[in-house]
Structure 1
Amino acid sequence: MAKQISELKLGILGGGQLGRMLIQEAINYNLTTLVLDPDPDAPCKSIANKFECGSITDFDTVYNFGKKADIITIEIEKVNIEALEQLEKEGKMVFPQSRVIRLIQDKGVQKQFFKENGIPTAPFQLVSSAADLTNGNFPFPYILKQRKDGYDGKGVMKISNLADVDNAFEAPSLIEELVDFDKEIAVIVARNTNGDMKTFPMVEMEFNAEANLVEFLISPSTYPDDIQQRAEKIATDIASALNVTGILAVEMFVTKNGEILVNELAPRPHNSGHQTIEGNYVSQFEQHLRSIFNLPLGDTRSISNAVMINLLGEKGHDGLAKYDGLEKIMAIDGVYVHLYGKKYTKPFRKMGHITIVDQNRDHAIEKARYIQQTLKVIS
């Protein structure tokens, strides 16, 4: 590029914890960051060079914000695509590209993309409303997903019988076969505008059954090399087919018979890559910056075994956040605390994460289990 990275302004749509961690990495490059978020107390507010409170789904707000930046990126997909398309027409660099964000915004379009490009995924069917569920021939049980606006487990439900259909989403949705999986895994791939790609080692995830979001992650995976290599190839095939610039998280299932099926995509830094801050030679956040500024990609190898725990607000607590047990867990070797700057907690709200690194995988997991029982976000 003609200018050095430190001479450019990075606009970030969304001011949550992902943007916060991206800015923390951007500071190392003397990068000027501009953030737009509707929350006047968003986690990014205190560390961005310039923070604007405004809607990320409003055309004029996003367009006028984007004109002030050299490169625009996202930390959440629910943004105004039309504004980003207009900015691209006027020569602004938007990464991931607006066409990629448009595809990701609609889970139905995402599934069609998998089908058209030979990407393995669970059998699915698109439905317009809940009424379609009573007319279809999809066998129970199955998973129902809203095509748009679902995140962190919201907009997803299991349909086990006709009684469940009465509570189904009325919005356009998709139904997919319930996968009998062994584990949920993820691979993060980075791609710069030169087309260079690197993948982070595959990770294994455990989900909170009630909130349906990741609460426990282990890196690197201990699955056989064959499965890990297949998962990494699927991720790079998707990144190539999308011609995406930036980080792409590919969430997948490993079935009981060793088959790999793609679940969903996220074209941005992702919960499944937080452990890379301490556990890998380059973090997903630095790698995203390297990708969108078309710089050489960093070394993605693991330094150590790393376990990441999502720090979620406790059930029954809604109000000013308190972190009970913080001093106890900080006394443990290899524990790294990341709090997201959110003043108020509520049940299952992501308030931070903890990473545990240890050369002994079993010890890292033992420490993580203890921390899960000890550290609580209360009000």
Structure 2
Amino acid sequence: MTTLRTPGPTIGVVGGGQLGRMLAEAAAPLGVEVVVLDPTPDCPAAPVARDQIVAGFDDEAGIRELAARADVLTFEIELADQDVMDRVSEATETPVHPKPSTLETIHDKLVQKRELADAGIPVPPFRAVEDAADIRAAIDDYGAPVMLKARTGGYDGRGNVPVESKAEADEALESVAGPAMVESFVDFEREVSVIAVKGDDEIATFPIGENVHEEEILRETVVPARSSETVTERAHAVARDVLEVMNGRGVYGIELFETTAGEVLLNEIAPRPHNSGHWTIEGAQTSQFEQHVRAVLGWPLGSTALRSPTVMTNLLGDVDDERPAQLRGLDEILETPGANLHWYGKRQVRPLRKMGHVTLSAGDADASREDLLERARDLVAAVTFRA
């Protein structure tokens, strides 16, 4: 094993949003420095990172500069260009984790689903879409509704369109505006996720989280999920199988459906820390961000054990237009034992934009997750971006 030292190495991160910010926060206590690359000057990660390179996610010169200043490269956004990162890594001998080949798989949802299905990972029935007739055929085979998905570029639910009937097929395909795929609509009991970590010669999974979505945007994560022991064990097994398909070290957010029949089906994968894992900062022995730092460096992973039941609630823009961000009504959050505020440093608020999150930890292993969720909702309901 490589001898570890502190002060230690530097990680170059493509992307400087809230995930880059929280990566830098987690790296600092380990003596690890972070340099981020992002096209937005003074991006959210800039105040806590060592430095920012202002450049696009596909800017080869900028990524070469990042590689020259780092011992390893990683990314916090799937918009990172896998071909550019591959070329830079080869030219500079700076490793990239997860590997650019994993990004290539993730970028195209159809490619992703095909590779996972070929590996025996349980996924909903799916098919490629060339025209509206393919959607109508899917409705014949799968029943209505079906879920139409943009193969590339979708994020936070964008590019996902439920199609309720054959009559909606043409309009739905036009709204996606690009290569698409279609999946059967899953009759699920709940949406869950497993944050999984692939280290140098070890893997680890965090306790399963239960996710509440509205308008295709994650609103809340409850940990542990209110799932049976059988479903929980199956979810962890699927997550471990997914890691076998993924190439390179790091944290992977693995979104799953728990069906009404008690099956576990894979929804999507994010090859980076994930919104549904933010609860780990207070709720687990080691956060997903610290685990990502450890993993990409090839360091030993930390414990994924649960500290106590925890709820994470996103702070979303509750405005009707874009305006300077100023959050009001924080008193109750700051006064509540077990509650923690995380602000992402974004200067402008827009409707439903993720601006921060709040975690509420029970402190009691037997605490009711229903009560904890209700208390967290009350705390967040008191805050607003409106004047």
TM-score, structure 2 length as denominator? 0.93
Query: What is the distance in 1 between the residues matched to 2:195 and 2:276?
Result: 8
* Larger deviation, residues 146-155 vs 6-15: 6-15
Out of 187, 198, 204, which is 1:198 matched to?
204
Q: Quick check: 2:207–2:306 contact (8 Å CA) kept in 1?
A: yes
Which residue number corresponds to residue 58 of structure 1? 59
Query: What is the distance in 1 between the residues matched to 2:90 and 2:348?
Result: 40
Query: What is the distance in 2 between the residues matched to 1:64 and 1:323?
Result: 36
Which residue number corresponds to residue 319 of structure 1? 323
* Larger deviation, residues 11-20 vs 312-321: 312-321
Ranges in structure 1 where 5+ consecutive residues have no aligned partner? none
Residue identity matched to 1:193: D
Query: What is the distance in 2 between the residues matched to 1:254 and 1:174?
Result: 22
Q: Quick check: 2:60–2:88 contact (8 Å CA) kept in 1?
A: no
Aligned residues: 376
Query: What is the distance in 2 between the residues matched to 1:253 and 1:135?
Result: 24
Query: What is the distance in 2 between the residues matched to 1:329 and 1:2?
Result: 42
C-alpha spacing 1:297/1:2, structure 2 compared with 1 (3 Å):
closer
Deviations 1:127-157 (A, max 9, x none): 1355643566554310011010100111111
Which residue number corresponds to residue 373 of structure 2? 365
Q: Quick check: 2:144–2:164 contact (8 Å CA) kept in 1?
A: yes
Which residue number corresponds to residue 68 of structure 2? 67
> Superposition pairs for residues 153-172 of structure 1, below 5 Å?
153-167=157-171, 168=173, 169-172=176-179
Query: What is the distance in 2 between the residues matched to 1:64 and 1:174?
Result: 37
Out of 118, 121, 124, which is 1:122 matched to?
124
Query: What is the distance in 2 between the residues matched to 1:7 and 1:224?
Result: 42
SS in 1 for 2:227: coil
SS in 2 for 1:133: helix
Is 2:116 the partner of 1:108?
no
- Offset of residue 206 of structure 1: 0.3
Deviations 1:228-285 (A, max 9, x none): 1110011011102224311111100000010110000011100011010000111000
Query: What is the distance in 2 between the residues matched to 1:319 and 1:293?
Result: 39
* Larger deviation, residues 160-169 vs 196-205: 160-169
* Larger deviation, residues 336-345 vs 136-145: 136-145
Which residue number corresponds to residue 189 of structure 1? 196
C-alpha spacing 1:259/1:310, structure 2 compared with 1 (3 Å):
same
- Offset of residue 60 of structure 1: 3.2
Residue identity matched to 2:218: V
- Offset of residue 68 of structure 1: 2.6
Residue identity matched to 2:207: P
- Offset of residue 165 of structure 1: 2.0
Query: What is the distance in 2 between the residues matched to 1:128 and 1:170?
Result: 12
> Superposition pairs for residues 143-292 of structure 1, below 5 Å?
143-167=147-171, 168=173, 169-194=176-201, 196-208=202-214, 210=215, 212-292=216-296
- Offset of residue 342 of structure 1: 0.7
Deviations 1:343-379 (A, max 9, x none): 1101000000000001223432221121232122336
C-alpha spacing 1:10/1:129, structure 2 compared with 1 (3 Å):
farther
- Percent identity over the alignment is 35
TM-score, structure 1 length as denominator? 0.95
Query: What is the distance in 2 between the residues matched to 1:297 and 1:14?
Result: 23
SS in 2 for 1:378: coil
- Offset of residue 79 of structure 1: 1.0
Deviations 1:32-78 (A, max 9, x none): 21110011131011221111111012333323332332100110011
Q: CA-atom RMSD, angstroms?
A: 1.7
Q: Quick check: 1:33–1:50 contact (8 Å CA) kept in 2?
A: yes
Q: Quick check: 2:19–2:76 contact (8 Å CA) kept in 1?
A: yes
Ranges in structure 2 where 5+ consecutive residues have no aligned partner? none
